Structure 1
Amino acid sequence: MSDEVGLPEAVSMAIGGMVGGGIFAVLGVVAGAAGTLAWAAFVVAGALAACAGYSLLRLNSLCESPRSPVGYVGKFTDNTTLSGVVGWTFVFGYVGTMAMYAYAFGGYFVELTGVSTVASVSIQPFVSALTVAAFVGLNVFGAHASGRAEDLLVGLKVAILLLFGLGGVAYGATHGGLGFGLSNFGIGPLVAAAVSFVAFEGWELLLFDQENIADPRETVRKAIYISIAGATALYILVALVTTNLAGIDAIQQHAETALAVAAQPFLGQAGYVLISVAALFSTGSAINATLFSSARLSKRLVADDLLPSRLRDESTDEPIRPLLTLGVLAAGFAFLGSLDAISSFASLAFISIFGGLSLLAFRERENLQTTVIPAVGTVGALGSAVALLWHLFDAERGTFWTVLALAVVVVGVEVLYFERETIADEVQSAERRVENEL
C-alpha cells in the first residue's frame, strides 16, 4: 500500500501534466488570438476541461472496476473499432503535444543562447528534434523521475510561475494597474479557448494509471477537480500579467518566448533568464513525462490489438518500439511544423476526444446526477472545434490546410487499420470478379 499514489501525489501528477510545458508553449498563440482577453480564453477552456473531467469520472464510476478512457468507449458502445480510434487519437494528440513542447524548448534555447542560425540556417528545428531524441534515449534506458522527485519538480515550476504572476500583479499595480480588456470582448476569446485547450491535457493520465493509486475512484475524482481548478487559476494569472506587461505586438513577435519577454519590465534581464531557464526545464520535463506515459498507453493498446503488433517488444517489458515510434513522429512534427499548426492540431485532437467522451456520458444520462455538464462539454467541444477551424481558415489559411491535412491523414490511417480486414476482403472479391470476367 505504501507504494500507491495518494491524493497529494495524484494532484501533483495532474498539475504537472497540464502546467508542465503548456503555458510556456501556447500562451503566445492564445494571446495573439484573444489579445488582453487571453485570460478569458483560459476560463472558457478550463470550464470545458472541467465538464470533460466530470463526464469521464462519471463513466469511470459506472464501470465495475476502474477503467481507462479507451475502456469506457469499449464498454458503453461495444465497438472495438471506435475504442481503437479513441486510443489512436489520444496517441496522436500526445505526439502533437510533445512536438509543441519541443518547439517551445527550441525557441527558448535560441533566445537564451543568442544563437539562432548556423551557416544561415535556423537551428531551432534541429534543437527541437534533438531534444525529443535525447528524451527518447533517456526513456529507452529506463531513466524517469520518481514520484517524490516529480513532486519537487512540479512544485518548482508552479512556484516560478506564481513568482512571475504575483510579481507582475504587484508591478502592474504600481504602474497604472492591469487591464482586463473587457471592452474588446468578441469572438477572439472563444477562438483562443479552442487553441488553449491543449494546455489542459494531462489530468486524464490519472485515469490511465488507476491501478497504482490508493482508493482510485475517490482520489482520482478529487485530484482531477483540484488540478483543473488550480491550473485554470494559474493560467489566468499568468495570461493577465503577460498580455499587460509584454504588449500584444511583442507577444506576436515572440510567441514562443512570451513569458520571458513579459518578465523583463519588473524582473529585468535576470527575470528574462529565470523564466527562460524555467521554460527549458518545464518543456523538457513535459516532453519526458508525456513520452513516458504515451509509450505505456501505446503498449496497452498493442496488447489489446488496437495498435499494430509490430510495436510489441517480445524481449523486454519496456515499450522500446512505441518510444522510438512516438519519438520519430514528435521530432518530425516539431522539425517541420509551425507553432500555430502544432498547437492547433494538438488542441483539435483533445477537443475531439473530450467532446466525444462527454457525448458518451450524456448517452448514459439515466445514470448521471446531472445531464447539463456533459451536454455543455459536448456542445462546447463542438463549438470550439468549429471556431478553431473557422479562425484558421479566415486568418491563417496555410495553417488551416496543414491542420486539415494532418487530421485527414490521422483519420485515414485509423480507418485503414481498423477496417483492414474488410478492405482486404473487398479487394479480394473485386479481384475474383475481374478474374471471372476475364
Structure 2
Amino acid sequence: MVHHSAQRPASAIPDKLPNFVSALSGEGASSSGGALGLAGAWAMGVGGMIGGGIFSTLGVVIGAAGQWTWASFLIGGLIALATGHCMAALTVDGDRSGGIYRFLRLQGYDKSAHLSALVLLLGYTLTIAVYAFTFGSYLANVFGGPAWMPQAMGVAAIIVLAGINLRGASDAAGVEIAIVVGKLTILAGLGIAGLVHFNAARLAVENPPGWFGAIIGAASVFMAYEGFELLSYDYDEMADRKRLIRRVMPLTIGTAIFVYIAIALAVPMLVDTSRLISDGEVALAEAGQALLGTPGLLLITAAAAMSTGSAINATLFSSARLAREVASEKKLPAVFAHENAQHSPYIGVLTLGSGAIVLTILGGLASLVTGASIVFLLVFGTVNFLAWREGVGNRFYAAFGTVGAFLSTILLALHLSKIV
C-alpha cells in the first residue's frame, strides 16, 4: 500500500444541490463536506464520456471495424471498466483528489506527476475544442449559414458553460443531470427504432476488415471513453466520497458501454454504412432524418447539442479542479488555486475555456482525436499498472487493464504507421 500525506480538507462548496438533485441522488452532504451525490457524480461521468465521441466518430469506427464496430466499443469499454476500478481504488487508498497526478506523487515520482498533469490539461483543452466543434457542426447542419458558423456556435457553447461552471458545483451538477437525462432519452429512442429493424447484413461495409479491425477501432476512438477519470478530480466534492466513487465508476462506464453498443448496432439499420463513413461529424443527424424526417433531424441535433454541451461542462468542471489541486502543491502557478465567491477555481475554468476557444476557431481537429486516444490509453495503462504494482484493488482487473491499454496503444501506433 502507498504511504500518503495527511488529508487536505475538502474544498468549501455550497451546502447542497437543488432539491431535485438531492432527491435523485438520495444522498445529502456528509461529513466529507461534499455537494455531489450519486446522481450528480454519475451525470458528470456520463456527460464527460458520451459527448462528442459517439456523434463525431461513429463513422471512423465503422470504417476501421466494419461489422465488428459493436465489438470495438465493447473492448474499449472493458478496458475502461478495469481502469475505473483501479482509479477508484487508488483514489480511496490515497483519500485525495487528483487522479494519476496524485497517484504518481504518492509514489514519489514528482517530475512524472507534474508532466502527467500538464499533458492531461492539454488533452482536456483539445477534447473541449473537439466537443465544441462537433456542437457547432450539428447546429450549422440544421441552420445552414456561412462556413465559420460551426466555430462560432462552438465558441458560444464554451462561453455559456464556462459561465455556469463559475457559479459553482451545485449549478454545474444540476445542469449536467438535466442534460444527461435528456440526451439519453433521445439516444434510447433512436436505438430502439433501429434495433427493431435489425438485420445483420446491413452492418457490412465494402472491403470488410477482419476481427483485428475491432481492436483498431477500439483504440482509434478510445477518446469516447475518456471522461470517467474526471470523477477522481471531483473526489473532494463528493458526499460520502469513499463509498460513492466505488459505486459511481462502474455505473458511469456501464452506461456508456450500453449506449455505444446500442447506437453502433441501431444506426446502420437506418442509414447505409457508406454514408455514415463519408458524412462524418453529422452522421447521426442523417439517421434521425431517415427515421422521422425533419423532426428526427431536429431531435438528433438536440441530442448532439446536449451531449457535446454536457461533455464541455463536465470536462471544464473537473479539469479546472485538477489544475487547482496541482497549483495547491506549487506545480502550477499559484493563481490556478484561487477560487471565486462560489468556490469555483475560476482561473482554471477561464484558462481552459480560452485555450479551447482558440482551438475551436482553428477547427479541423478530427486528426487529433486519434492522438488524444493514444494519450488517454497511455495514461490509463499507467493507472492500471500502478494499481497492480501496489496491490490496490483487484489485481486481475489491474493486469487486464494494463495489458489491454498498452497493447491497444502499440497496435494503434503500428496501424497509423501502416505496418499492420
Note whether the superposition's TM-score is higher than 0.5: yes
Cα distance in 1 between the residues matched to 2:119 and 2:373: 11
Match of 1:49 among 63, 80, 84: 80
Greater shift, 247-256 or 231-240, is seen at 247-256
Greater shift, 130-139 or 193-202, is seen at 130-139
Indicate if the aligned counterparts of 1:35 and 1:243 stay in contact, CA closer than 8 A.
no
Greater helix content:
1
Q: Deviations over 1:108-156 (max 9, x none)?
A: 1221112243xxxx44334434443443455457697354443232111
Cα shift at 1:87: 1.8
Greater shift, 232-241 or 296-305, is seen at 296-305
Greater shift, 13-22 or 272-281, is seen at 13-22
Long gaps (5+) in structure 2: 1-26, 30-34
Cα shift at 1:256: 0.5
- What TM-score comes out, normalization by structure 2 length? 0.82
Flag the 1:347–1:169 CA change in 2: closer, same or farther, 3 A. same
1:417 equivalent in structure 2 = none
Listed as ranges, the matches of 1:33-432 within 5 Å are 33-63=64-94, 65-69=95-99, 70-75=101-106, 77-117=107-147, 122-140=148-166, 145=171, 147-170=173-196, 172-173=197-198, 176=199, 179=202, 181=204, 184-309=209-334, 311=336, 313=338, 318-365=344-391, 368-370=393-395, 372-394=396-418
2:47 equivalent in structure 1 = 16
Q: Residue type of the partner of 1:363?
A: R
Cα distance in 2 between the residues matched to 1:131 and 1:260: 19
Indicate if the aligned counterparts of 1:92 and 1:349 stay in contact, CA closer than 8 A.
no
Cα distance in 1 between the residues matched to 2:44 and 2:185: 15
Greater shift, 343-352 or 253-262, is seen at 343-352
Q: Residue type of the partner of 2:323?
A: S
Aligned to 1:389, the other structure's residue is in SS state helix
**Are positions 1:28 and 2:59 aligned together?**
yes
Indicate if the aligned counterparts of 1:203 and 1:227 stay in contact, CA closer than 8 A.
yes
- What TM-score comes out, normalization by structure 1 length? 0.79
Q: Deviations over 1:404-430 (max 9, x none)?
A: xxxxxxxxxxxxxxxxxxxxxxxxxxx
2:17 equivalent in structure 1 = none
**C-alpha RMSD of the superposition:** 2.7
Aligned to 2:264, the other structure's residue is in SS state helix
Q: Deviations over 1:355-383 (max 9, x none)?
A: 11111112113x5543x322221222122
Flag the 1:391–1:332 CA change in 2: closer, same or farther, 3 A. farther
Flag the 1:137–1:209 CA change in 2: closer, same or farther, 3 A. closer
Cα distance in 1 between the residues matched to 2:336 and 2:39: 34
Cα distance in 1 between the residues matched to 2:157 and 2:61: 24
Cα distance in 2 between the residues matched to 1:280 and 1:2: 30
Q: Deviations over 1:34-56 (max 9, x none)?
A: 23322111001101101111221
Cα shift at 1:106: 1.9
Cα shift at 1:393: 3.5
Cα distance in 1 between the residues matched to 2:339 and 2:78: 43
Cα shift at 1:332: 2.4
Indicate if the aligned counterparts of 1:93 and 1:346 stay in contact, CA closer than 8 A.
yes
Indicate if the aligned counterparts of 2:55 and 2:304 stay in contact, CA closer than 8 A.
yes
Aligned to 2:331, the other structure's residue is in SS state coil
Q: Deviations over 1:278-312 (max 9, x none)?
A: 21222123212211221222122111112234545
Aligned to 1:203, the other structure's residue is in SS state coil
Number of aligned positions between the proteins? 384
Flag the 1:345–1:99 CA change in 2: closer, same or farther, 3 A. farther
Cα distance in 2 between the residues matched to 1:364 and 1:265: 52
Flag the 1:144–1:267 CA change in 2: closer, same or farther, 3 A. farther
Flag the 1:208–1:315 CA change in 2: closer, same or farther, 3 A. closer
Cα distance in 1 between the residues matched to 2:186 and 2:201: 20
Indicate if the aligned counterparts of 1:37 and 1:181 stay in contact, CA closer than 8 A.
no
1:436 equivalent in structure 2 = none
Cα shift at 1:225: 0.8
Match of 1:7 among 29, 38, 44: 38
Cα shift at 1:27: 2.1
Greater shift, 31-40 or 229-238, is seen at 31-40
Flag the 1:73–1:314 CA change in 2: closer, same or farther, 3 A. same
Cα distance in 2 between the residues matched to 1:392 and 1:110: 31
Aligned to 2:239, the other structure's residue is in SS state coil
Cα distance in 2 between the residues matched to 1:386 and 1:369: 25
Question: Percent of pairs identical after alignment?
Answer: 34
Cα distance in 1 between the residues matched to 2:178 and 2:48: 14
Cα distance in 2 between the residues matched to 1:286 and 1:92: 16
Flag the 1:131–1:215 CA change in 2: closer, same or farther, 3 A. closer
Aligned to 1:394, the other structure's residue is in SS state coil
Q: Residue type of the partner of 2:398?
A: P
Flag the 1:241–1:230 CA change in 2: closer, same or farther, 3 A. same
Indicate if the aligned counterparts of 1:98 and 1:330 stay in contact, CA closer than 8 A.
yes
Aligned to 1:262, the other structure's residue is in SS state helix
